[in-house]
């Protein structure tokens, strides 16, 4: 080994040792570089549903607040390792509700658990980043396992639509309307039945893409409750929305959403 090579070896080794001393493993550093997220830590796979490891999906968290992209519009807050471990269970359970083919078509590889997520100054549930096969989730606002499962599936559907540039669905907009096109405080209720006729809940009334994400999440997580609500109310518009989502999901994701007999 010549002198220059020896110097480079020592310098590189010293830098790597320094990074490792800060608590990041080599796998952490590789993922952090790939995702351009400094201070990233991968969770041990034993903390997540075992199917995620088989599918090549890793959960992670950040040791300090980060802002993404050149504009810094999107924010992911720091979270403790203990809190990340607690959230990993329901987040991974939500993903594991889906068949492998669906997850494969979505192209998911990383899920970063955030202690708060924001777009500019607005709190959001997550940040889908399809080019990096990355989904960032706010898991710091609640300890409810059911909510975290639902939020994971909701944000994952946003990622699926963004990947195929279908967040604005012209065909849907021709059939369905009545959206506020705003995140009004009185529309933040996600309970089934809290919305106007034609909507599964109040949050579905904010935007069309939120309506579809809410339908996807509830049809995966709690299809019997959706069917019971439609039958109890006789809501023909909501039934048409479910059938639309079912056709689209089967075509794009290989996933049947509508229960038999709807």
Domain boundaries, the chain: 19-144, 168-262
Q: Are 92 and 49 in contact (CB under 8 A)?
A: yes
Averaged pLDDT score across all residues of the chain: 89
d(CA 216, CA 213): 5
Q: Which is higher by pLDDT, 120 or 58?
A: 58
**Planar angle of CA 123, 129, 131, nearest 5 degrees:** 165
Average pLDDT over residues 207-235: 97
d(CA 74, CA 68): 5
Provide the 10 A C-beta neighbour count for residue 81: 14
Over residues 164-197, the pLDDT tens digits come to: 888 899 999 999 999 999 999 999 999 999 999 9
d(CA 87, CA 62): 14
pLDDT band at 22 (very low <50, low <70, confident <90, very high): low
Question: For residue 1, what pLDDT is reported?
Answer: 43
Whether the model clears a pTM of 0.75, i.e. scores above it, the answer is yes
Question: For residue 6, what pLDDT is reported?
Answer: 36
DSSP state of 73: -
Average pLDDT over residues 38-63: 94
Q: Which residues of 44-62 are buried (b: 16+ CB within 10 A; e: fewer)?
A: ebebbbebbeebebbbbbb
Average pLDDT over residues 88-99: 96
Positive or negative, the CA dihedral 41, 43, 45, 51 is negative
Average pLDDT over residues 73-86: 94
What the block records as the tokens of 262 is: 């709807």
């Amino acid at each position: 080994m010549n002198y220059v090579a020896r110097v480079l070896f020592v310098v590189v080794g010293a830098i790597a040792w320094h990074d490792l001393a800060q608590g990041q493993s080599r796998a952490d550093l590789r993922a952090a570089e790939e995702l351009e997220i400094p201070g990233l830590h991968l969770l041990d796979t034993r903390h997540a549903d075992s199917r995620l490891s088989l599918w090549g999906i890793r959960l992670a968290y950040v040791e300090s607040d980060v802002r993404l992209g050149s504009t810094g519009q999107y924010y992911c807050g720091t979270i403790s390792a203990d809190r990340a471990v607690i959230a990993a269970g329901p987040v991974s359970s939500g993903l594991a509700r889906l068949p492998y083919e669906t997850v494969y078509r979505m192209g998911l590889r990383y899920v970063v658990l955030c202690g708060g997520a924001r777009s500019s100054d607005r709190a959001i549930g997550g940040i889908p980043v399809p080019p990096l096969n990355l989904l960032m989730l706010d898991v710091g606002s609640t300890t409810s396992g059911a909510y975290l499962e639902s939020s994971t599936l909701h944000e994952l559907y946003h990622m699926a639509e963004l990947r195929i540039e279908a967040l604005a669905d012209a065909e849907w907009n021709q059939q369905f309307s009545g959206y506020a096109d705003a995140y009004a405080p009185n529309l933040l209720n996600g309970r089934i039945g809290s919305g106007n006729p034609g909507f599964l809940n109040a949050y579905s009334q904010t935007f069309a893409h939120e309506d579809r994400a809410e339908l996807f999440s509830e049809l995966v997580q709690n299809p019997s409750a959706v069917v019971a609500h439609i039958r109890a109310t006789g809501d023909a518009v909501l039934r048409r929305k479910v059938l639309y989502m079912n056709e689209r999901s089967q075509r794009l994701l290989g996933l049947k959403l509508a229960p038999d007999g709807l």
